[in-house]
Structures are given as structure tokens and as C-alpha cells.
Amino acid sequence: MNNPKEHKRLVLVLVAGVIFMFGFCYMLVPFYKLVCKQIGFNGQSVQTATVPSANMPVDHTRTIKVDFVTVVHGDLNFQFLPLQRHIEVHPGETKLIYFYAQNQTGHEITVQAIPSITPSDAARFLKKTECFCFTQQYFFNNERADMPVYFYVDPSVPKNIHEMTLAYTLYDQTGFIKKQEHFTKGRIDL
Amino acid sequence: MNEALSHHGDAHADSGAHGPDKGFKRWLFTTNHKDIGTLYLTFSLIMLFVGGFMALVIRLELFEPGKVLINPELFNQMTTMHGLIMVFGVIMPAMAGLANWLIPMMIGAPDMALPRLNNWSFWLLPFAFSMLGSTLLMSGPAPDFGWTFYAPLSTTYGPKSTDFFIFSIHMMGASSIMAALNIVVTIFNMRAPGMTLMKMPIFVWNWLVTAFLLLAVMPVLAGCVTMMLMDRHFHTSFFNAAGGGDPILFQHVFWFFGHPEVYILILPGFGVISEIIPTFSRKKLFGYTSMVYATIMIAFLGFLVWMHHMFTTGAPFAAQLFFMYVTMLVAVPTGIKVFNWVATIFKGSITFETPMLFALGFLIMFTIGGFSGLMLALVPSDYQYRDSYFVVAHFHYVLVSGSLFTIFAAVYYWLPKWTGNMYSEKLGQWHFWLSVIGMNVAFLPMHFLGLAGMPRRIPDYALQFTDFNQICTVGAFIFGFAQLIFLYIVYQACFGPRKQALTNQVWEGAHGLEWTLPSPVPYHTFETAPQIV
Amino acid sequence: MQRFIARLILFIGSCCLSLAAFAIPALNMPYGVSPISHQIYNLHMAAFYVCCVIGAVVFSVLIYSLIRFRKSKGAKAAHFHEHLGIEILWTAIPTLILIVLAIPATWVLANIHNTEQSQLTIKVTGYQWRWKYEYLDQGISFFSNLSTPLDQINNKAPKDEWYLLEVDNPLVVPVNTKVKLLVTAQDVIHAWWVPSLGVKQDAVPGFINENWIYITTPGEYRGQCGELCGVNHGFMPILVKAVSQTEFDQWVKQHQKRAEHLLKIESLTLNKARAATHVAHARNTVELNAHE
């Protein structure tokens, strides 16, 4: 059975399998994003604006404390702070908060804030209707701005959740600049 | 070995076949499975000393707190290269070498299904490792991010040599994929008539399962390093949060490859042990069918446990539970295998030649490694163990006294068949006992170091860890130098003077097609397939 | 048979010796000073004992066989190679043992994940190669660097007791307080690990992870970075100082006065004029949205 022709079919099937697995590796990327969205891990499901339903009930029986935390990545020379440390919200209630940013790099720059939410079981319930993190943000040298986030905690959040943290990490977008609006609605220049 | 094969090549060749070429051309162009097996094993042995040298550099640096020999930058390169070389340059090629030598003979086939592909599979390896090794000579650091090369340390923060590392991995991966392809086709299409799958030697079964694992996950590794390359040079952001990517995705992709990879490293070894123990117990392997199913179970479950390498990354509770439970479950088929081996020995008629010694050493010490693995599976405990020397102890127990010991056992067991020369039993015993002692002295204290809080991959440590680190270094040197005995034994058996002529069967309890052939085996065997009853 | 018993006793004896080794503090996981570290320790010891028992059983049978069934002593091989009953048994029993181990593991993990009702929140940021601690509600922020002098590392000076485990600014927390840790990183992946507190959490750039500590005994607790992060991965230790509530309050007051890098949140939020602008702006924006 050392005839090459005998093996051709099996070899082709196996090679097809190998190519499939290589493609599978790349498929893992959107698949991973999908799974994270589905389970709401890290707030992955709320990277775009969520419009609250018109008759969303506000749960006045409890409040959730939302902490705000900022990180500036790498050696990017930026000031980036939340204007409030935390806020108490009723589930279903829309709140507006601001983040202050100042470009201290010495030149113009485009940045993006990447959000992250913890705990992971509650992350998918923190929804934003407007956020400076949805788009890249352009800053000329020394520009200062207050950037808004409109958010609410969905009323279906489990009863055992009393605290959440919303964190933003600010990244330099040089090399990744997208063709999109670089200002967010409600951004206040100072 | 050259002489042995060329002596008998013509005498036993069928008409039309011929003996091997002479000189280096033979080794460069050979398509003979025996020659390619020899090439793989020789390459692996050389890499064992290269990687071993790096291990000794590491252990020297860790002999005392403070800077001993090398700076932290070179230390990180040593740990990275040591891991890469041992995994991809020693264990995998050695197992491939065993596959090449043994599978055709065990199934009664004249050669592998795709002999020229076989040649290419091997020769990719020296090129791959030359490329990897050359990074040590470049200005700027060689890869220094651990053999697991997490992003963003390896992408955004990786040195220039990372790109050479990526290409090197691609070549190693291609080599493994082609070898695995060859093995699957050979096993499916070229078994002697009458040899059903359930009559195959268990070593062949284990390699069949391993080959499927390789075909499934080596492409994933290729995709992973390609994504790394794209992130580094083509402004993609698979693993870069700046562009919307995720460093944790890297870990998912890597470990989706990485966990089946460790089963790739051990399953052929399990096959070797399942051949050796019955021979030296003079008793058939207990539970052949359950051994086959256990191997398949282990391979299958191996795809479902990758996240146990990532328990502290911030995973959701439910995910941690799932992976903890499935990881613990792998202990069941693995335990079945251990019990079956013990049951084979029980009420057998046992002798203690060197292959059996290594098999028994494996049985005890791999099981110990398995126990530390079970402890690691428990998530809360893993929070303390992870990235500590407890993990280092675990994987060295399962890889050194696991995989490497099975390779030693295999060489001692089949070398007489391959060369026609019995190795020196006395020296073999010396090699065994020094290896066992060295191995335990080197790695048992690492459990304690990890529990006491020593992290891994650090070039320098707090004072309370000194004593055990010194013991580990001594053990490492004992183990390292013991391998010189092995080198001498192999050299003697291959090139030394012929002692007494060996029978076909060589070992009293040996069964299987390869033991029906003369020792040394002719250059071409089973040109006509035997009929299996 | 007697020789077998003698060897079995020897084997068990050496196991007990190794158990004794576990009793020596520097060789086993610390029992720690946190309820979580206690639970982890107990789980670890339970798993260890289970493994010891299984190992003792399996290795006894093996060693017994190796002695009793030697060919040199005239043993003749039996001919069995299957036994359904015993195979079912040694599949079912390990599975049961695993279930027994999984239950406490699940319970401890659930405890670790419960970060609610903390009284203090500290943000921990991993840098190459130091830690930054920010007490969010107190407005304190500082870096914690390895303070071992380079001379000691280069063997030019004798090493002191806490070589490589000492820092310039420790993390100070009050005892008997649930402290929530928000862990992230500024460059590559690090991990915050203090064995005595039973906590290890990866610090991933771009992500925020949470964990909690609760220290029952005042003292100093040391740890190290637990994820390879570059050249000086081994040189970014952690020192947690647990003090009484009064000491902690004093420490907070001192640091609030001294801190130059205070996050000026209070002054910003007190800027009433600015706040008014924001509200008006917000109202306009909302109305704009409504008309779109």
C-alpha cells in the first residue's frame, strides 16, 4: 500500500482539516468577542450606545454604588481623571458624569478610552447611552476637556449587586486612527 | 549504526531494493523511516544538551541570592530558550523519532506513507532551531518573555528578535503538522492485512491520537504567532487593548493550543510504557480496550480545559467552575491508565532491566506529578500556586520523569533492535539511578519553594528561599551530568564493537511485529506485508 | 510477607516525614492572616492528604508487586488482562473523590468572588517595575518601589533580612476591614500576590479586576509580582502593613497633607460655576437628542 495514489484522499482530508484549524484560530477572535458580549463579560456588550426603553422602571428600593477609575496607559503624558469618585444610582435611573482630560504631550494627539467594568457578573447591566469611549478623541496640544458619559444600570441587575466599578484606560491611538468623528456629543472644551 | 545497517541491508533486501547511500548525502536525502527516525533522535539528543546547558546556567544563577553569573535580561532569555528547546526541540522530535522508527515496523508496513514529506518534516527542524538559536547572537535580547510569550510583553514590548522567534515557531509547527499527517495516513492505510485498529500495538494507538491532536492544535499556534506578527508590524490589534483588542484573548488562543500540546508531549510516552511494562512483567497489558478509550478521553478532555492556566486573569465565577471541574475530570482516565499499568505488573513475572527501571520510575514519579496537577486544578488553591515554583515542580515532574523518562525507556528497549548491539546494562543502571536521584533532588524542593511563596521566572530571590534553591541546583547538576552516561551508552551501542549476536526477540517477554525481525533490523523491512491472525 | 510489611511501614514513615516537612513554616503554604487564606490553606491540605492516601494505596500495591512477583524469586506470570468489576470500581471511586474535593473548592471560590460590602477601596496598578496604590476615597496616591540597594543585589554589601521583599512605601490598611482591591496595569500584565493574604490577581492593561482582602492580625505581609513582566519582574515586591483603625486614620491624615499628586477631585467638583455649565449643556444635549 505504498502507492501515493492510495493516500491522496486521506491526505487531502487531513490538509483541509489543518487549514480549517488555522482559520478556526482566526475565527476565535470574533467568536471570543461574541461570547464575551453574550455573557456580558467586562461590559463587552455595551461598547455602543444603548437607548433606554421609554418606560424603563426606576427601582427606588435600592441603590448601586458605581466607582469611577481612570488609567493612562504607557508613558502617555495625559491628565485623565473622573470628576466624581463614585455615584449612587437607582437601577433604571440615567445619570450624567464627566471625565476631565488634558493633553500634556506637547503635540496634537488622538486618544481612545477603553472601558472595563467589574464585577463580571454585573458588567452587562451597566449601559451607556452616550460615552466618550465610543469614539476616538482628538486633542490639540494642551487642550482640556470635560467628557460626558450618560449611563444607567439596567433594573434587571441581580439583587445581590450593590457595587460596581467603571474603569477607563486611555490609549494613544497613533497608528490606529480611524475615519470617524473624533468628538463626542456633549464634550465640553475648557 | 551505519555499519550495522549497511552490513545487513543487502543480505535481507528484496529484489529491487538497495542498501543506504554512503556519506552525508544519505542523511540529507534519505526517505527511509529508520534513517529519519535516527535523525530525529540524534537531533533531540543534541538539543537535550543545549537546553540542559541553559538549565544549568539558570540553576547556577539561582544558586544564591544576588547576582551570581548573569544579569536578569540574559536570565529571562535563558528561561525562555530552555523551555522552547526542551518542548519543541527535545520531547517532540524524540517522540517523532520513535514514531518513525517503530510505527511502520509495528504495523508491518515497509515505510511511512509519505517518505519524502517525512524527510522534509525532519530537515525543517535544524533550520528552525538555527533561527531560534541565532537570536542569542543578535544585538538586542533574544526572546525573553517565557516559552508562553504572553501579549503584550511579546507584542508591544517584545524585542526585535521576536520576529525570528515567530518564524522559527512556524517552521517547527509545519514540521510537526507534516509528521502528524504522515503518521495518520500511515496508520490508517498501511496496516498489515488482518490488523484491525483494535489489534494495533498500543504505542501505535497512542501516536494516532497524538497525531490528531497535533493536526488540530499546531495550526492554532501558527495562527496565534501570525496574529502576534500582525500586531507587531501591521497595526492590527488582536491582543492590544488600544485598538479594541484583548491581551486575555492571547492567553485563550495560546492555551487552546498549549493544553493539548502537553498531552502531545506525554501520550506517545504512555504508549511506550504500555509496551515496556507487559514485556518485563511477561504478562499482557491489562485492559487494552480501556487503555485505548482512556487515551481518547484524555485527548478529548484536553481540548476543554485550557482556561485552567488562566484562573487569576479575572475570569467569571462560572467559567472558573467549569474549567476546574473538567480539569479534575482528566484525572479519571489518567488514573485508569496508572491502575492498568499496576495491574499488568501485579501477578506478573518481573525483571528489572533498564527499560523497566525507567518505566517504573516514570510510573511513580509521573503519578506524583499528576497529584500536584490535581492540586493545581482547584481554583482557590491555584491562586496561591500559579506562577510559583509549585507549577515549575509539577510540570518538571510530568515532563522530565514523565516524557523524558519514557524516551529513555524507549531507547533502551528498542536500541538493541535497531543496532544489534545490547547496551551496557551496568551503565544503564547507573544512568537510571543518578537520573532518578538527580531529578528528585532538583525538583522535589521546588514544591516547597512554591508553597513558601517563591515566584517563577525570577533571577534572584529573598533569603528564606536560599537553602532549597541550593539543593535544587545540586540535583540539577547531578541529573545533567548523568545524561553524559546516556550519551556514552548510546554511542557505544551504535558505534562500539559488536558483543554477542542478539536474537530477534531480544527480550524474553517482548511481543509485536518488530520483535520478529532480525536485530539489527535490515534497512528495508516488511516489503511484503505479513498476515495477521 | 514480613518483609513486605516492613517496607510498607518504611514507605508510610517517609510519607509522614514529608508531612512533617509541611509542618515547618517556611516549607508549606502560609496559613495566613485572612479568612480566605485560611480556607485556601485548608483546601490545599485536604487535597494533599487525599493525594497522599491515593498515592499510598497505589504505590503500596505497586511496590508489593515489584517485590512479590519477581522472576528471580520464581514468580510465574498469571494470564488475566481484564476484569470489568474492578475497572468500574477504579473509575467510580476516583470520580467520587473528585466530587468530594470539588465541593469545598467551589465554596471557597464563591467566597473569593464576593467583593461586596467593602469598607475601603484601593486601586492597585502594576507598572514596569513597581506598584502604584491609590486610595480612591481618601485621595492618596503613591508608588511602591523595591528599596533593596543595588549594592546588595550586586553582592557588594551584605543582604539584609528582607532582601528583595522591602519597599519604600508600603500599602497600609486597617485590620478587620474588608478592603476591595481594583487591580489593573499600565503597560504589560503583572500580578499582585501576597501569600499570607491568600490573594493573587492578574493586573491586565486595559482591564480592571477586583478582589478583596481582610486582615485579622496587625503585621507586615510581603509578596511579589506573579506574572513575568520584563527584566525586573523579580524586583517589584509588595509590602502590606496592617495596622489598627486609629493608626490607619492617622496615616491617612499625614498622607493627605503630604501628597503632592493629590487627585484634585474635591476642588473640581466644588467648582459650582463649572457644574452649572455642565447641567445646562447636558439639558441642551438631551433636548437635541429628543428632537433628532
| Domain identity same for A160 and A88 | yes
| Domain identity same for A29 and A57 | no
- With CB atoms and an 8 Å threshold, state whether A176 touches B110: no
pLDDT at B20: 73
What is the value of ipTM here, to two decimals?
0.91
- With CB atoms and an 8 Å threshold, state whether B219 touches A22: yes
Closest CA to B341 of B271, B397, B421, B393: B271
| Domain identity same for C56 and C109 | yes
Element (H, E) at B275: helix B247-281
Interface probe with A: pick from B121, B187, B229, B249, most Cβ of A within 10 Å: B249
- Chain A residues touching residue B188 (CB < 8 angstroms): 10
- With CB atoms and an 8 Å threshold, state whether B448 touches C70: no
Fill in the amino acid letter for B313: T
pTM for the complete prediction?
A: 0.91
Q: Does C47 reside within a domain? A: yes
Report the percentage of chain C scoring pLDDT > 70. Answer: 79
Give the closest-approach CA distance of C291 to chain A in angstroms: 14
The residue count of chain C comes to: 292
pLDDT at C24: 44
Residue labelled with grid coordinates 475497572: C87
Interface probe with C: pick from A44, A83, A166, A176, most Cβ of C within 10 Å: A83
Chain C's closest residue to A162, CA to CA, is C116
Range of the domain at A166: 44-189
Chain C's closest residue to B387, CA to CA, is C226
Give the closest-approach CA distance of B461 to chain C in angstroms: 7
| Domain identity same for A25 and A60 | no
| Domain identity same for A26 and A98 | no
- With CB atoms and an 8 Å threshold, state whether C81 touches B283: yes
Residue C10 has pLDDT above 60, yes or no: yes
Sign of the alpha-carbon dihedral angle for B482, B125, B414, B86? positive
- Residues of B in CB contact (< 8 Å) with A are 109-111, 113-114, 177, 181, 184-185, 188-190, 215-220, 222-224, 227, 235, 237-238, 241-244, 246, 249, 252-253, 256, 314-317, 529
Element (H, E) at C11: helix C2-23
Residue C290 has pLDDT above 50, yes or no: no
| Domain identity same for C107 and C170 | no
Task: List the chains bordering chain C where 3 or more Cβ pairs fall under 8 Å.
Answer: A, B
pLDDT at B5: 42
| Domain identity same for A89 and A136 | yes
pLDDT in tens, B191-228: 999 999 999 999 999 999 999 999 999 999 999 999 99
Chain A residues 107-166 with a CB less than 8 Å from chain B: 112, 114, 118, 120-121
Give the Cα separation of B362 and B432 in Å (integer): 11
Closest CA to B421 of B506, B499, B510: B499
The verdict on A31 touching B (C-beta cutoff 8 Å) is no
Residue C270 has pLDDT above 70, yes or no: no
Q: Does A78 reside within a domain? A: yes
Mean predicted confidence (pLDDT) in C187-198:
96
- With CB atoms and an 8 Å threshold, state whether C125 touches A161: no
Give the Cα separation of B75 and B58 in Å (integer): 7
Chain A residues 33-52 with a CB less than 8 Å from chain B: 39, 41-42
| Domain identity same for A172 and A148 | yes
Of C92, C113, C134, which residue sits at a domain end?
Answer: C113
Task: List the chains bordering chain B where 3 or more Cβ pairs fall under 8 Å.
Answer: A, C
| Domain identity same for C257 and C150 | yes
3-state secondary structure B466-531: HHHHHHHHHHHHHHHHHHHHHHHHHHHHHHCCCCCCCCCCCCCCCCCHHHHCCCCCCCCCCCCCCC
The domain tally of chain C equals 2
Backbone torsions φ then ψ of A137, nearest 5 degrees: -120, 130
Question: Cβ distance C69 to B348 under 8 Å?
Answer: yes
pLDDT in tens, B276-326: 999 999 999 999 999 999 999 999 999 999 999 999 998 889 999 999 999
Residue A70 C-alpha cell reads as 481612570
- With CB atoms and an 8 Å threshold, state whether B249 touches A28: yes
Instruction: Place B519 in a pLDDT band, splitting at 50, 70 and 90.
Output: confident
Residue B438 C-alpha cell reads as 538527580
| Domain identity same for C105 and C149 | no
Residue B82 C-alpha cell reads as 530552555
Residues of B that are catalytic: 82, 111, 147, 175-176, 259, 261, 263, 274, 308-309, 334, 337, 456
Residue B264 has pLDDT above 90, yes or no: yes
Q: Name the stretches of chain A with pLDDT < 70.
A: 1-4, 43-48, 181-185
Residue C25 has pLDDT above 80, yes or no: no
Chain B's closest residue to C224, CA to CA, is B455
pLDDT in tens, B246-262: 999 999 999 999 999 99
Closest CA to B97 of B47, B57, B59: B47
Instruction: Sort residue B282 into left (φ over 0), alpha (ψ -120 to 50) or beta.
Output: left
pLDDT in tens, B149-177: 999 999 999 999 999 999 999 999 999 99
Q: Does A24 reside within a domain? A: yes
| Domain identity same for A21 and A106 | no
- With CB atoms and an 8 Å threshold, state whether C206 touches B282: no
pLDDT at C258: 65
pLDDT at C65: 95
3-class SS of residue B354 = helix
Chain C's closest residue to B146, CA to CA, is C228
Range of the domain at C142: 120-267
3-class SS of residue B198 = helix
Chain C's closest residue to B244, CA to CA, is C206
Question: Cβ distance B239 to B249 under 8 Å?
Answer: yes
| Domain identity same for C263 and C125 | yes
Burial of C91 (0-12, 13-18, 19+ CB in 10 A): middle
- With CB atoms and an 8 Å threshold, state whether A18 touches B177: yes
3-state secondary structure C175-220: CCCEEEEEEEECCCCEEEEEHHHCEEEEECECCCEEEEEECCCCEE
Question: Cβ distance B354 to B425 under 8 Å?
Answer: yes
Q: Does A1 reside within a domain? A: no
The domain tally of chain A equals 2
Residue B127 has pLDDT above 80, yes or no: yes
pLDDT in tens, C79-96: 888 899 999 999 999 999
Give the closest-approach CA distance of B366 to chain C in angstroms: 11
| Domain identity same for A70 and A16 | no
Give the closest-approach CA distance of B226 to chain A in angstroms: 10
Mean predicted confidence (pLDDT) in B385-394:
97
| Domain identity same for A48 and A34 | no
Fill in the amino acid letter for C76: K
Strand pairing of A95-103 and A144-153?
Answer: antiparallel
pLDDT at B28: 93
Q: Does C14 reside within a domain? A: yes
The β-bridge partners of A113 are: A170
| Domain identity same for A23 and A101 | no
Residue B362 has pLDDT above 50, yes or no: yes
Helices B425-452 and B389-398: crossing angle in degrees, nearest 10, is 160
pLDDT in tens, B435-450: 999 999 999 999 999 9
Chain A's closest residue to C134, CA to CA, is A69
Q: Does C40 reside within a domain? A: yes
- Cβ neighbours of residue B192 under 8 Å, at least 6 residues apart? B107, B108, B109, B513, B526, B529, B530, B531, B532
The β-bridge partners of C219 are: C242
- The count of other CB atoms within 10 Å of the CB of residue A37 is 16
Lowest mean pLDDT among A32-46, A94-108, B340-354, C209-223: A32-46
Q: Which CATH class is domain B2-516?
A: mainly alpha
- Cβ neighbours of residue B399 under 8 Å, at least 6 residues apart? B86, B91, B262, B265, B266
Backbone torsions φ then ψ of B501, nearest 5 degrees: -70, 145
pLDDT at B372: 96
pLDDT in tens, B225-240: 999 999 999 989 899 8
| Domain identity same for C51 and C97 | yes
- With CB atoms and an 8 Å threshold, state whether B345 touches C65: yes
- With CB atoms and an 8 Å threshold, state whether A14 touches B189: no
Chain A's closest residue to C128, CA to CA, is A74
Residue C274 has pLDDT above 70, yes or no: no
| Domain identity same for A54 and A134 | yes
Question: Cβ distance A145 to A187 under 8 Å?
Answer: yes
Chain A / chain B CB contacts < 8 angstroms = 96
Domain boundaries, chain B: 2-516
Q: Does C126 reside within a domain? A: yes
| Domain identity same for A60 and A132 | yes
Residue labelled with grid coordinates 481518547: B296
3-class SS of residue C171 = strand
- Chain B residues touching residue A120 (CB < 8 angstroms): 314-317
Residue C15 has pLDDT above 90, yes or no: no
Give the Cα separation of B475 and B493 in Å (integer): 27
Give the Cα separation of B225 and B128 in Å (integer): 15
pLDDT at A44: 60
Closest CA to C173 of C128, C216, C126: C216
Give the closest-approach CA distance of A169 to chain C in angstroms: 5
Which comes out higher in pLDDT, residue C41 or C26? C41
Interface probe with B: pick from C98, C113, C240, most Cβ of B within 10 Å: C98
C71 vs B156, B246, B351: nearest CB: B351
Give the Cα separation of B459 and B476 in Å (integer): 16
Residue B14 has pLDDT above 90, yes or no: no
Residue B97 has pLDDT above 60, yes or no: yes
Backbone torsions φ then ψ of A122, nearest 5 degrees: -105, -10
Interface probe with C: pick from A36, A64, A111, A116, most Cβ of C within 10 Å: A116
Instruction: Place C4 in a pLDDT band, splitting at 50, 70 and 90.
Output: low
Q: Does C257 reside within a domain? A: yes
Give the closest-approach CA distance of B216 to chain A in angstroms: 6
Give the closest-approach CA distance of B380 to chain C in angstroms: 6
